[in-house]
Chain A
């Protein structure tokens, strides 16, 4: 009679939950510590935004006056919205100058913002007279009562210049870059070097597309587009235009700087991957840069919601 004994193979230690866990490495601990500081940094920014927004006066923004104008004596005034300058913009400019009391430069700024050109600050009878003059000059106009807001409302072109459609697409772009980053890590874990390099390259390209769209958005806000008086006194949306503007540029600017740093780091990782710098057993840099990249994506999901959609 033969007695055989079998010895079970050694198993990997598992936590009590039964979940497989990743090995803890010094690099990963260091990166998570860094991400913890980043959590505090971005929470500070977002929290400050919430605090400033909550503390903004009820009359901070309006459709007919520039941001932060004291409106307490102007509540019975109205604005004349110019939807179209018609066939003769010069005549409309002249009518604004002669009958609305605007300087020529101010009248031109109103017309540059058409179809949201707003000439504001008239008593009711005067608003009607100005509207009649502008109609006679060929413009399509509408008299609007003063509308006050605590904070610029999304989808309100008279107080909020942000392009939600474009940024929603940009959010989708950044999400796409996150999945290519995740697939790059998956590839190198499987030992597929070429596939990893291609996904890293795709991540760099998509991340760069995100930045390009953000630069285009900044250009349109600060230079390319002309906005009505309710958004900016100068017609351009720049950090000094309003509290909303400075908050917007601070938050999205710091996030953009993080994306830029991520694209640079990813580019270096990509170049190293071309020289067989990573393998299935040795790919910690890919994992660490990926963690950072996903964090940047996560922050953008929250920023997009709070700054653009609310």
Chain B
């Protein structure tokens, strides 16, 4: 790292931008290959990809956005925003994700009935199947 301050004489040193760029490119390649290799293992896929994405985003924030050289005031702005946004998502999650499953494929078509209705929905006509 070049530690020479700039002409103003009171600024932060130059981060190793090229090394960070090379690391980001390398990890993007690794992430791409990982996504392909783990595509059939959803749990492993999600955990691995979130790790790589967080790592890459951390590199961008820490070096390119100079979080490494900022005071704690920045975190006072960012962390509450992240917390509020996360709470919003958690609050929304049950509305969609925990709604009762309307259809159990294993039960077979005879036992299934649409909640609150007395008739089965019409079968779909894929591709605009010709009638008659």
Contact = CB atoms under 8 A, between A and B. Distances in A.
Contact of B7 (A37, A59, A281): A281
Nearest to B129: A101
Interface residues of A, number: 86
B67 to A, nearest CB: 10
Interface residues of B, number: 74
Contacts of B129: 101-103, 106, 121
Interface in A56-74: 57-59, 64-66, 69-74
Given A301-B56, A301-B60, A43 B124 contact: no
Interface in B58-114: 60-61, 63-66, 68-71, 73-74, 77-78, 80-82, 84-86, 88-89, 92-93, 95-97, 99, 101-103, 105, 109, 112
A298 B20 CA distance: 13
A130 interface: no
Contacts of A119: 126-127
A183 B123 CA distance: 60
A44 interface: yes
A176 B49 CA distance: 21
Contact of A32 (B17, B18, B78, B102): B78
B71 A50 contact: no
A15 B71 contact: yes
A22 B124 contact: no
A51 B93 contact: yes
Contacts of A304: 53
A59 B103 contact: yes
A172 B25 contact: yes
Nearest to B71: A21
Contact of A19 (B53, B69, B88, B95): B69
Given A19-B68, A20-B13, A294-B64, A40 B31 contact: no
B60 A297 contact: yes
B74 A55 contact: no
B57 A50 contact: no
A50 B96 CA distance: 10
Contacts of B109: 72-73, 75
Contacts of A21: 12, 69-71
Contacts of B122: 70
Interface stretch (A133-141, A186-194, A215-223, A255-263): A186-194
Contact of A305 (B50, B60, B80): B50
A47 interface: yes
Interface in A262-310: 280-281, 290-291, 294-295, 297-298, 301-302, 304-306, 309-310
Contacts of A204: none
A36 B78 contact: yes
B130 A101 contact: yes
B97 to A, nearest CB: 4
B20 to A, nearest CB: 7
A43 B99 CA distance: 22
Contact of A309 (B20, B49, B77, B88): B49
A306 to B, nearest CB: 8
A90 interface: no
12 contacts: A12-B10, A24-B71, A35-B77, A39-B78, A44-B89, A50-B89, A51-B97, A186-B17, A233-B127, A294-B60, A298-B65, A306-B53
Interface of A: 12, 15, 19-24, 29, 32-33, 35-37, 39-40, 43-44, 47-48, 50-52, 54-55, 57-59, 64-66, 69-75, 97, 101-103, 105-107, 109-110, 119-121, 148, 153-155, 164, 168, 171-172, 175-176, 178-179, 181-183, 186, 189-191, 229, 233, 280-281, 290-291, 294-295, 297-298, 301-302, 304-306, 309-310
